[in-house]
Structure 1
Amino acid sequence: MSQQIAAQQTGANTKTCLIVEDSEFDQERIKRIMNKSFQGVFVAVATTIEEAREHMARYQTSIILLDNHLPDGTGANFAMELAENPTFARIPIVMVSDWPTPFMFDKADSAGVIDVVNKSDFGARYIHNALNYSVKPKRVN
């Protein structure tokens, strides 16, 4: 994860996009979309779920762009974990995956993920939708 990017955050009103993606190619592609369409949004990158947890423990996160296939687990399971944590349940998540499966869609839906999109179809509209979405916390019974 780029501590340098995260350390540059200037205030509580600054929006931060956390990209959780292990492919450098896909990281760069998503960062280009962010930089072109969303000035004033800091971008941090985590290559594993553990790095994402570390980032979120230290910095406020406004949106998460989450791959499903990561070296230390699945994004769908991580989304479920976040949905069950009151501190993180309101953060909008967009899953960006090479091969979205029905099982992944079901888990993502249960976790309150806003969109599940194929990487080849991913664009600024999904980020815009997530940044303007009011996530409702998951009910814990």
Structure 2
Amino acid sequence: MHQHVTRSYDSICLIVEDSAFDQRRMTRIMRQSFRNVRIDVASTLAEARRHLQRHQTSLILLDNNLPDGKGANFAMELAQDPTMARIPIVMVSDWPSPFMWEKAHSAGVRHIVDKSEFGPAIVQSALVSKQRTQDAG
């Protein structure tokens, strides 16, 4: 008799990235380091918006250059929504510009890293700062 096992997750991480290579790389890093995190992927901001309407997301890994807009602008959009503003965002982008840094920081983005620097320590730091923010509130 085959028994179906449903996996339960503590949280959901949304990767918003249009490069299939980078999607796979970030997914692999997250799965190796965070066992109880479900990884969902969106290739566009429109897909990310739909995901956020349907799922209580715990972390967003966000590229800046996407087919339908800039990740920094999306971070600003989320910062305006009290529910979404609580979700920690890590911008993972090639060639982060000073303008992108300024906009991302004003939106409350936890970390901005080059794709080559992305790793579990960045994610852990973002999640710890989220917990401190919740404990203070």
Q: TM-score, normalised by structure 2?
A: 0.89
Pairing partner for 2:65 from 59, 66, 69 = 69
Q: How does 1:6-45 map to 2 (within 5 A)?
A: 10=8, 14-45=10-41
Paired-residue identity, %: 59
Instruction: Give SS of 2:108's match.
Output: coil
Q: Aligned partners of 2:40, 2:128: CA distance in 1, in Å?
A: 19
Structure label with greater radius of gyration:
2
Say whether the 8 Å CA contact 2:78–2:85 is kept in structure 1: yes
Sort the Cα spacing of 1:40 and 1:96 in 2 relative to 1 into closer, same or farther, 3 A. same
Match of 2:49 in 1: 53
Number of equivalent positions: 128
Asked if residue 130 in structure 1 is aligned to residue 126 in structure 2, the reply is: yes
Shift in Å at residue 133 of structure 1?
1.5
Q: Aligned partners of 1:136, 1:79: CA distance in 2, in Å?
A: 18
Sort the Cα spacing of 1:55 and 1:74 in 2 relative to 1 into closer, same or farther, 3 A. same
Match of 2:3 in 1: none
Cα RMSD of the aligned pairs, angstroms, is: 1.7
Sort the Cα spacing of 1:110 and 1:21 in 2 relative to 1 into closer, same or farther, 3 A. same
Structure 1: runs of 5+ lacking an equivalent: 1-7
Sort the Cα spacing of 1:23 and 1:85 in 2 relative to 1 into closer, same or farther, 3 A. same
The runs of 4+ residues in structure 1 deviating greater than 2 Å are 8-11, 134-137
